Structure formats: C-alpha cells, structure tokens
Homo-oligomer: A and B are copies of this chain.
Amino acid sequence: MKLSKFFLPILKDIPSDAKIKSHQLMLRAGMIRQSASGIYSWLPLGFKVLKKIEIIIREEQDRAGAQEMLMPTIQSADLWKESGRYDGYGLEMLRIKDRQDRELLYGPTNEELVTQIFRDNVKSYKSLPLILYHIQWKFRDEIRPRFGIMRCREFLMKDSYSFDETKEGARLSYNKMFYAYLKTFERLGLKAIPLAADTGPIGGDLSHEFIILADTGESQIYTSKKILDLKIENFSNDEDNLNNMVKAFTEIYSATDEKFDQSEFDKSVKKEDQLITRGIEVGHIFYFGDKYSKSMRALVNSSSGQNITVEMGSYGIGVSRLVGAIIEVNYNNNVMKWPTTVTPFHVAIIDLGKKSENETKIKSQNVYEKLKENYFDVLLDDTDESPASKFKNFDLIGIPYQIIIGSKQKVDEYEFKEVGFDKQIVSLDFIIKKLKEIYFN
C-alpha cells in the first residue's frame, strides 16, 4: 500500500477529549473515528489490527476444539424473560421495539440464545462435550462511555459456550479455555494473569478474569513477581496436564483492589516478591453449571439414560478492547511499536527524497515491489511531507520495522531500523532474510 493512496487521516494534535493513550493514539493514527457517543467506526489501519487479533483468537479457539458459528446481534426479549435476566439486566441493555411492537434487544451477551440453540438441536450426551463460539458485535448502553474503544457501547467480543454432561467434563472445558486464553494473549505479545473473580450478572460458581499488566490499566493489581516467570509455552495442553497448569497460575496470590486483602497478600507473597501494578481486563471465563440449562430446560439424555440438565460455562474475550490494551502496553514516549503478530503492516518504506529527487523514488519503488513479491505487507511513504513529519507519522503508525531511503545512500545500501533500536546499513537481501525470519519463521 502506498501512503498517498491509503485512507489514513493522521491528526497532528492530541484531541482534547482523549484522556488515555490508546484513545489518543487511535484517533491520531487514524485508526478509529467516533460515529456517535461510544460508537466507533474502524478506519483501514485500525481495522487491519482488529482483524489480525480476531484471527489469532479464532486459531486458538479452533485449536481448543471450539466450533465457530455466528449468532445475530438482535435477540428476542422472550428468551431473556425465560432465563429471568430480562428485568434484572437494567439500563445497560439496549431494548428495542420493532414495527410489530415485539420486544427485541441488542445482545450484550449470548447465554440465552446459545442455550436455546442447544436445547432445540442436541438431545443426547453423545453430542457432548461441545464448545461453540462466535465473534460478534455486542452493545451495552454504558451511562458514560469513555476512553475510546476501551469503554464504548458497541464492541466486538468473542464469546464461547461449553456444554458438558458432568461437572468434571465442564471443568475440563473450562481448563481448555483457560489454556486457550493464555496462549492467545501470549501470541498477542501480552502478559496476562488470571484472577479469581466475581461472577456478576452471568452467575455461577467459578470464574476468572484475565488481566493484562499495563501501568495505565484501570484496576490496581496485587500479585507476586513469580507470576511473570510462568509461561504458557512451558505447559502442554493435554487433558491430564491442564489441571496442573491452572493450579500453577492460580495458586499465586493475585487480586484486584476490589478483592484485595492486605494480610492475605503479606501471608502469601514474600515482601520482596510483592508486585503492585495496574491492569486491564481483556477476558472473563465462567463456569455456571445449570443456571441457564435449568431455567430454559436444556436437557440431554445422559449416558445412564436419564434426562439431565447440561453443565455449561461461558468464556469472553474483548476483541476490540484488546486493540486498546495492546496500545497501552506498547505506546511509550510517544512512540508506538506493534507486536509483530498484529502489526498492520510488516514493514514501512520511508522515502526521504525531495519532490524533485527521482532517484529515491525509483529506489523506494523497487524495494516496495521486491518486498511485495516476497509476500510482505508493506506501507510505502511516497508523500511529499518533510522527513521530520514522516518520522512523526510513523511513530504513530507503529510498524515495527522501517526501511529508510535517502539520497545520500549508496545504490545497494539500505537503512534498516527496528523501532527502539539503532539503524543498520545493510543490503536488501539481508532485510528480506531478516523479515522472513521475523514474520514467516
């Protein structure tokens, strides 16, 4: 893509209503624009990152054996009356009447709808275990939307739902999702820690939130430095080991300020290991047994021939919110650097030649073609802006690798730079080899 053609409306100044850095960056780098209060349009740069996050989430869900489907955004109120949540959900639920005066709502979550689909279509334990998921827009009518896409009204969520015959089966499904979540966040370059959590309006017996450590996070987090040494890549996902993995991650004391208990903290974590930091919630998983299957009569014929209510859990990841979380972690000192797994482009080419200088234009174009031939997604800055302005723009765009083409370089020399490191003068072959290692290992 050539920057002169790319719809990337960069803002020179920080919009006054953007209080946190992800909101500032997303507006300035032309990733999003607000379309109504708490409702955003994703412009091409933001959309590219959102899609890449979505793909990683999908891959890890599929790997965990979850099956993708897609439920609609608009639901019938009747279902929520069946489960008993319609009245209790309050003003955050966007309630709608259609032309026939039927009560509808914009789904804030999908326990009811997926339970309906399950009960209408699954009759026997032989179809279990089953994990279904979808990646769909949700709406919650926040009273005071703020912080850009971090606390907005229309947001993209991945929500999975597990169905099992037994409590043990449900626990295994829970553990599989626990693993998939840690894997997902690791691939996004984030350090996520699971915290025992309240179940809130979803209900249930067991719940964990996943919190990304970030200085600018919304919640205070109390934990041990030891949790930073735990890496999901060191755990296998075979069923027998999942319990040990969950145990390893959850036996370390971790709490948000809501649940924090100083004496317990001091008892569980040595003074020198205590880590008090901030975090951003990006996922939440629940085991809630028969809460919905009972009220909505989702029964299956069990292996012992009885009709039993199915054991369920639900598992959410804030897909659009993750874009903000990744920025909060990776946008420092006014310089953004995307993790290689979600960067909107693999590499930037910055042509520093003046308008009249055809030489750098040709050289830039050649590099551009060569990289495209090698399947890289490249953004070439072919605009007439000044070098200073170009570098400032790329500080916002955040592509982690840059090739800088200036008029003083030798023909076969290229300035190659990883954001945050010193530039190197190298050959184009070296650059291609390096980028292949990074992106296509």
Contact = CB atoms under 8 A, between A and B. Distances in A.
A132 B72 contact: no
A137 B73 CA distance: 8
Contact of A91 (B44, B70, B99, B126): B99
Given A7-B69, A96-B96, A74 B139 contact: yes
Contacts of A202: none
Contacts of A153: 74
A322 to B, nearest CB: 15
Contacts of A73: 73, 137, 154
| Secondary structure call for the A interface | mixed
Contact of A96 (B69, B94, B122): B94
A75 interface: yes
A113 interface: yes
A7 B130 contact: yes
Contacts of A132: 7, 44
A161 to B, nearest CB: 11
B99 A141 contact: yes
Interface bracket on A: 35 or more
Contacts of A96: 94, 96, 106
A86 interface: no
A70 B94 contact: no
Between A33, A40, A75, A126, the greatest number of chain B beta carbons within 10 A of the residue's beta carbon is seen for A33
A39 interface: yes
Interface string A26-62: 0000100101110111111001001000000000000
A216 interface: no
Interface string A107-146: 0000001001100111000110010100001010101000
Given A7-B121, A94-B96, 7 more contacts: A6-B67, A7-B127, A7-B132, A35-B75, A36-B72, A41-B72, A41-B117
